[in-house]
Amino acid sequence: MNLDDFSDLIERPDGGVRRDAEERRERLTVPPGALGRLDELGEWLAAAQQSVPVRPVERPRVVVFAADHGVAALNVSGRAAGTAYELVRDTLDGASAVAVLARRFSVPVRIVDAGLDCDPELLPESVVRHRVRRGSGRIDIEDALTAEEAERAVRLGTAIADEEADSGTDLVVLGDLSVGGTTAASVLIAALCGTDASVVTGRGGTGIDDLAWMRKCAAIRDALRRARPVLGDQLELLAAVGGADLAAMTGFLLQSAVRRMPVILDGVVGSACALVAQRAAFRAPDWWLAGQASGEPAQAKALDRMALTPLLDHGVTVGGGSGAILALPLVQAAAALAAELPERAEEAEEPEGTEGAEGAEEPEEATEVTEVTEVTAEKASGA
């Protein structure tokens, strides 16, 4: 499998349709520019949908990939290694942030176990049936996945994207649930951006203390040494320093672009996968929105490299797509405004042949002025 093959399959959103959407925007009753970035979002959606006016976003879905990362054994996270299944369980029970928000916005949530380190019996079969492997290798000293597992994970992501597109999903909020995932994501971003470990090391979703931050930075530094020799092959890179969830999300993003299905990215993990996908197919980022700025330095580096500007800046790091789903109502509002605002009425044209026509009657007011002038002249001559 060669991820570069996706480059030939992905087209940009329709530029002609976008120009039509821009021209229609110029004719709306609300002045151009008055809606700020909502105008841009509406035009982007129109191009993605190939429809003017834009259709409403009626069938969004939150898709979450879950896994455990072996590097968590180094105490680089505020959570114990191998406990990502608890995050999944909370979401299934409706007790996580993304579950609450999804319930509030009436958006279904789909969780895909790509590499959780738990007994399958702890979670529903619909979640665990796609698992590539149990956990991943410790990326500072060994590969996260074998080459075969990395390919299986990418193919899992493409299959999930096809399932969503075939079911009528018109926009995806992409999230992740993992322990140690931000460490692996930071390694990918540092490697692809050519930067040092300290520049991309953040506090993660659990807000680690200084000692944990130092351990995390050291792990990223060591993993970077292993990542740099395989930078020329995205699949090898994901196998060396990624994980099953990261590889699956990369495949999901690429195939979503192939299927013309827009995606809202969440935090640093999704941004890392997007950066890998961009390396494989340079047109792919045209199908994605950055939902939010999480405050993670690695995410900022990745979004800057892809020229994606976050819609929101709330610093949400809890994961699961919680930050990205907050941007969904904004996107839906942009679609509604672009579709439902009326166009300006055409100015009434002056009938032809009236101006300067021979024999045209003088206005009534002018006739009155003439009569007053004649009366005044008679009085003056009789004086």
Phi-psi region of 57 (alpha: psi -120 to 50; beta: other; left: phi over 0): beta
Distance CA(64)–CA(111), nearest Å, equals: 5
Establish whether 320 is a catalytic residue: yes
Q: How far is CA 134 from the centre of its chain?
A: 28
Please tell me the distance from the alpha carbon of residue 11 to that of residue 15, in angstroms, as a whole number.
10
Whole-angstrom Cα Rg for the chain: 29
| Contact partners, residue 134, CB within 8 Å, separation at least 6 | 68, 115, 116, 117, 118
Q: Where do runs of H (alpha helix) occur along the chain?
A: 15-26, 37-49, 84-92, 97-104, 125-128, 147-166, 181-193, 197-200, 210-227, 234-241, 244-258, 268-280, 297-306, 322-325, 328-340, 364-382
Task: Name the residue with tokens 């702890």.
Answer: 122
Side by side, the strands of the sheet bearing 288-290 are 109-115, 60-68, 171-179, 263-265, 288-290
The pairing of beta strand 171-179 with beta strand 263-265: parallel
240 and 226 Cβ atoms separated by less than 8 Å: yes
Among the listed residues 128, 36, 117, 110, the one whose alpha carbon sits nearest the alpha carbon of residue 82: 117
Task: Please name the helix (run of DSSP H) or strand (run of DSSP E) that holds residue 32, with its range, or none.
Answer: none
| Encoded tokens for 348 | 């009434």
DSSP labels for 185-212?
Answer: HHHHHHHHHT--HHHH---TTTT--HHH
The one catalytic residue among 320, 321, 353, 356: 320
Active site residues: 320
